[in-house]
């Protein structure tokens, strides 16, 4: 029996949600391998989930693989552009990530995408799991440990240089499409822009996606944050709007990156969705 979008929305937690409209990837069906408690190695100041409830870099099985695949099979997606692992935190913290990706490929011919903050890429098992995905999009919101601390607020023990080392190692062997997602909370100075361009030249992703936090941030944890909660004018919870970078500044930086690296750069439309 096929479940409708509205049926799934009534469940307080389901590992399959959406489809979500994404300016980056089109019509995206979400897979949440993290579950009821938001769990991440970052607690980004702009996080669309609200404040992260469980801050950790430990991997474990949060949602059983069978539960995820049963939900996906019942949903039977036919008209989505991509199946995206993201949801309630950092998906690579799910120790069953490889099993989930393998199972999705048995059930659907849609390309698979993993959105990750890159903090686990120095783990060989994570790199092996991610190799199953067709696309991997990696967060990189700065060029230094100071920016990492101020913007992403990582758990203790996470170092910017280790993230970059893991990213570059993953890049060497991965056969799929790599994207870099960068959120700008303020305009960067020339030195920071220059360092970022140098890093992008070394990583050589298929594309770079520049964004600024147009989505309001829920004050407390909200499942609605997994989806396009900006479009819900009557949402029953409190949000906080964040300062955005002017679209012209984003566009100028995108042009500078593209001219100096040859990498395609896209900026979020107004209003942004995902």
Q: What ranges do the domains of the chain cover?
A: 5-267
Determine whether domain 5-267 maps to CATH 3.10.129.10. Answer: no
Of the listed ranges 101-110, 204-213, 242-251, the one predicted with least confidence: 242-251
Higher pLDDT, 258 or 229: 258
Which pLDDT does position 18 carry in this prediction?
85
CB under 8 Å to 271, separation ≥6 — which residues?
214, 230
Section 81-91 average pLDDT: 94
Write the CA distances from 178 to 5, 156, 161, 200, integer angstroms. 29, 27, 19, 11
Identify which of 66, 11, 18, 57 has the alpha carbon closest to the alpha carbon of residue 36: 11
Higher pLDDT, 245 or 78: 245
Section 67-95 average pLDDT: 90
Which pLDDT does position 270 carry in this prediction?
60
Where are the strands (E) in the chain, listed by range? Answer: 16-22, 26-31, 39-40, 54-55, 82-85, 112-116, 135-139, 177-183, 207-211, 217-218, 239-240, 264-267
Higher pLDDT, 229 or 48: 48
Give counts: helices (H), strands (E), the chain. Answer: 8, 12
Q: Where does residue 204 fall: left (phi above 0), alpha (psi -120 to 50 degrees), or beta otherwise?
A: left
pLDDT above 80 (res 12): no
Which pLDDT does position 6 carry in this prediction?
34
Identify which of 76, 10, 63, 5 has the alpha carbon closest to the alpha carbon of residue 36: 63
Average pLDDT, the chain: 87
pLDDT in tens, 17-69: 888 888 778 889 999 999 999 999 999 999 888 889 999 999 999 999 999 99
Which pLDDT does position 1 carry in this prediction?
30
Section 130-142 average pLDDT: 98
For tokens 């893991």, name the residue.
166
Higher pLDDT, 245 or 123: 123
Higher pLDDT, 12 or 168: 168
pLDDT in tens, 142-153: 999 999 999 999
| Token representation of residue 160 | 């910017």
pLDDT in tens, 62-79: 999 999 999 998 876 568
Question: pTM for this structure?
Answer: 0.87
pLDDT above 60 (res 225): no
Which pLDDT does position 245 carry in this prediction?
87
Helix axes 190-203, 160-173, angle to 10 degrees: 30
């Amino acid at each position: 029996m096929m479940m409708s979008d509205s049926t799934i929305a009534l469940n307080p937690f389901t590992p399959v949600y959406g489809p979500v409209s994404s300016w980056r990837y089109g019509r995206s069906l979400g897979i949440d391998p993290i579950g009821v408690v938001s769990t991440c190695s970052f607690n980004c100041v702009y996080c669309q989930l609200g404040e992260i409830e469980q801050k950790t870099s430990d991997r474990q099985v949060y949602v059983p693989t069978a539960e995820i695949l049963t939900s996906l099979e019942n949903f039977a997606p036919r008209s989505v552009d991509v199946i995206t692992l993201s949801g309630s935190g950092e998906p690579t913290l799910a120790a069953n990530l490889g099993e989930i990706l393998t199972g999705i490929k048995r059930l659907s011919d849609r390309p698979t995408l993993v959105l990750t903050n890159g903090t686990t890429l120095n783990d060989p098992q994570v790199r092996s799991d991610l190799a199953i995905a067709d696309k991997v999009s990696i967060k990189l919101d700065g060029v230094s440990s100071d920016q990492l601390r101020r913007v992403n607020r990582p758990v203790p023990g996470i170092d910017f240089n280790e993230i970059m080392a893991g990213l570059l190692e993953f890049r060497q062997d991965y056969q799929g499409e790599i994207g870099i997602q960068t959120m700008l909370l303020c305009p960067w100075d020339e030195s920071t822009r220059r360092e970022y361009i140098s890093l992008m030249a070394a990583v050589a992703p298929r594309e770079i996606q520049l964004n600024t936090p147009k989505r309001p941030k829920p004050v407390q944890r909200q499942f609605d944050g997994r989806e396009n909660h900006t479009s819900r004018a009557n949402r029953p919870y409190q949000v906080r709007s964040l300062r955005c970078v002017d679209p012209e500044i984003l566009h100028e930086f995108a042009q500078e990156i593209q001219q100096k690296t040859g990498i395609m750069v896209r900026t979020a439309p107004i209003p942004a969705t995902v």
